[in-house]
């Protein structure tokens, strides 16, 4: 194996050679090249082809094998070629200086042990004796995401989750979502209002929420909230410089564009692929937004202030006869929040992320609150001070009523979410921004 670039191959040539090899590998194995997004997946796929009929494949690979889409695709495409596959998931952090959890993947072409794919929860790689073992059952129509978390949950909980997944509607039934602004250079295109005024850019500015950590814990982002950010001199002004306005650009705007070019902003990948590097595609303002990354509690908010967001959030527009308040009210319950843990993927430090498809696929029990109920819901959020049992109190009452869930079943969902969240954040040292 070649580690790094050999001295006789330039970086560009090496990248081309690597890409060509990945394409060749995909064609030979009839494997979607879009799913080879990381080198470890390609190594697993290629190594399978080098095995003898009785060979064994053993790798330490990222935890993403169990969470991200290309990891799940690899499972479906490769695991069936082995008689037995074992995945060992440690509670302990193996590489203490890295924000990267890992698993051991052991795959046998032939096996005297029971056949199938098994996930084992272990304490550490020093002791590979499983605390819990779950077999991943290839049952048609069964939720694979639940299976992949099964080593953390008891069997009664799993059966409840399968039932609720089948019987529940999903968020995508009630809304449309799209990414926020993709600037490729937030610090250049998003400025504090005083800076935008000083540079003569206010004519081309739009109010924007740059990141979720700027918000309070309220599920409604109001005009007062935005005004507080402005007064705190936070970056709140998105600078939109469309090519169609070139003839109208002032000296100040032209100077700012030249400053961006002198700083190399125009050479960033997304910038240089625009017709005008300084024209960030403008998105529509939306009724609400969902922050795609979170730490303790995923957040969906009503956009009462009517601001734009960056791509740290998905912009939400409710379907006809559906209200954004109803979506927000219905999001905060033990079922929907539990499935953010099941369907989402985690990264170093315990950050939870949901793709647009994963967000749209979350189960939800939609309920349209009246003004009093929504006001109580907002008050509960503000008074909870991070206590999630208080935050989901009203949502769980609706959940229990609409889905006919017992108190014991609601408590089961709460325990399951605590278990999955605690496991995800077990190595975390700080909350995500």
pLDDT score at 433: 37
Is residue 14 predicted with pLDDT exceeding 80?
A: no
pLDDT score at 4: 37
Q: Where are the domains of the chain?
A: 11-138, 154-180+284-433, 184-282
DSSP annotation string for 57-91: EEEEEEGGGGTSHHHHHHHHHHGGGSSEEEEEEES
Mean pLDDT of 143-154: 86
- Label residue 17 by pLDDT band (50, 70, 90): low
pLDDT score at 22: 67
Q: What angle do CA 107, 125, 345 make, to 5 degrees?
A: 70
Is residue 301 predicted with pLDDT exceeding 90?
A: yes
Highest mean pLDDT among 28-42, 73-87, 211-225, 330-344: 330-344
With pLDDT > 90 as the criterion, what percentage of the chain qualifies? 61
Is residue 95 predicted with pLDDT exceeding 70?
A: yes
pLDDT score at 291: 95
CB atoms within 10 A of CB 188: 18
pLDDT score at 178: 94
Is residue 18 predicted with pLDDT exceeding 70?
A: no
CA distance 140 to 74: 18
- Label residue 1 by pLDDT band (50, 70, 90): very low
pLDDT score at 366: 94
Highest mean pLDDT among 77-86, 234-243, 293-302: 234-243
- Label residue 137 by pLDDT band (50, 70, 90): confident
Mean pLDDT of 138-142: 61
Mean pLDDT of 374-390: 88
Is residue 183 predicted with pLDDT exceeding 90?
A: yes
pLDDT score at 429: 58
Lowest mean pLDDT: which of 82-91, 155-164, 424-433? 424-433
CA distance 422 to 182: 32
Q: Between 349 and 241, whose confidence is greater?
A: 241
Is residue 209 predicted with pLDDT exceeding 60?
A: yes
Summarize pLDDT for 106-130 with one digit per residue, the tens. Answer: 999 999 999 999 999 999 888 888 8
Is residue 16 predicted with pLDDT exceeding 60?
A: no
Mean pLDDT of 335-342: 96
pLDDT score at 427: 76
Enter the pTM of the model: 0.85
pLDDT score at 254: 96
Mean pLDDT of 184-191: 96
Would residue 264 be called left, alpha or beta, if left means φ above 0 and alpha means ψ between -120 and 50 degrees? left
pLDDT score at 78: 82
- Label residue 339 by pLDDT band (50, 70, 90): very high
- Label residue 348 by pLDDT band (50, 70, 90): low
CA distance 85 to 74: 13
Q: Between 92 and 169, whose confidence is greater?
A: 169
pLDDT score at 100: 81
pLDDT score at 142: 65
For residue 204, give Cα distances in angstroms to 135, 190, 229, 242. Answer: 57, 11, 19, 9
CA distance 76 to 95: 28
pLDDT score at 6: 38
Q: Kindly report the CATH number that applies to the domain delimited by 11-138.
A: 3.40.50.150
Is residue 140 predicted with pLDDT exceeding 70?
A: no
Strand order in the sheet with 235-239: 190-192, 235-239, 205-209, 308-309
CA distance 128 to 118: 14
pLDDT score at 338: 96
Strand order in the sheet with 345-346: 293-294, 352-353, 345-346
Backbone angles phi, psi at 249, to 5 degrees: -65, 135
pLDDT score at 70: 77
């Amino acid at each position: 194996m070649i580690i790094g670039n050999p001295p006789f191959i330039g970086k560009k040539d090496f990248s081309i050679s690597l890409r060509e090899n990945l394409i060749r590998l995909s064609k030979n194995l009839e494997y979607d090249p879009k799913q080879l997004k990381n080198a470890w997946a390609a190594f697993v796929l290629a190594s399978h082809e080098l095995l003898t009929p009785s060979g064994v494949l053993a790798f330490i690979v990222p935890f993403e094998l169990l969470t991200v889409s290309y990891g799940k695709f690899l499972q479906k495409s490769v695991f069936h070629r082995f008689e037995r596959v074992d995945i060992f998931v440690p509670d302990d952090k193996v590489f203490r200086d890295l924000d990267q959890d890992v698993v051991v993947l052991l795959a046998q072409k032939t096996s005297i042990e029971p056949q199938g794919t098994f996930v084992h929860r272990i304490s550490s790689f020093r002791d590979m004796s499983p605390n819990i073992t779950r077999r991943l059952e290839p049952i048609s129509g069964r939720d694979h995401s639940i299976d992949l978390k099964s080593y953390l949950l008891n069997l009664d909980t799993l059966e409840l989750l399968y039932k609720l997944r089948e019987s529940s509607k999903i968020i995508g039934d009630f809304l449309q979502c799209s990414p926020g602004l993709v600037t490729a250079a937030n610090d250049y295109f998003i400025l504090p209002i005083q800076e935008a005024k000083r540079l003569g850019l206010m004519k081309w500015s739009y109010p924007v929420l740059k990141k979720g950590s700027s918000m309070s814990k309220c599920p409604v982002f109001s005009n007062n909230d935005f005004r507080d950010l402005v007064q705190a001199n936070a970056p709140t002004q998105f600078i939109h410089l469309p090519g169609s306005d070139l003839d109208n650009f002032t000296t100040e705007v032209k100077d700012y564009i030249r400053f961006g070019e002198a700083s190399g902003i125009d050479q960033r990948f997304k910038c240089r692929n625009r017709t005008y590097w300084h024209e960030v595609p403008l998105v529509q303002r939306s009724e609400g937004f969902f922050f795609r990354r979170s730490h303790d509690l995923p957040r969906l908010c009503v956009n009462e202030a009517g601001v734009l967001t960056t791509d740290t959030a998905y912009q939400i527009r409710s379907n006809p006869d559906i209200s954004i308040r109803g979506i927000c009210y219905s999001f905060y319950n033990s079922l929907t929040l539990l499935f953010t843990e099941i369907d989402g993927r985690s990264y170093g430090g315990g950050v939870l992320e949901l793709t647009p498809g994963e967000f749209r696929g979350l189960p939800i029990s939609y309920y349209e609150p009246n003004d009093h109920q929504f006001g109580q819901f907002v008050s509960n959020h503000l008074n909870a001070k991070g206590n999630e049992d208080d935050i989901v109190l009203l949502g769980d009452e609706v959940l229990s009523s609409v889905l006919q869930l017992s108190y014991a079943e609601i408590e089961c969902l709460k325990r399951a979410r605590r278990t999955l969240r605690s496991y995800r954040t077990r190595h975390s040292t700080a909350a995500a921004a």
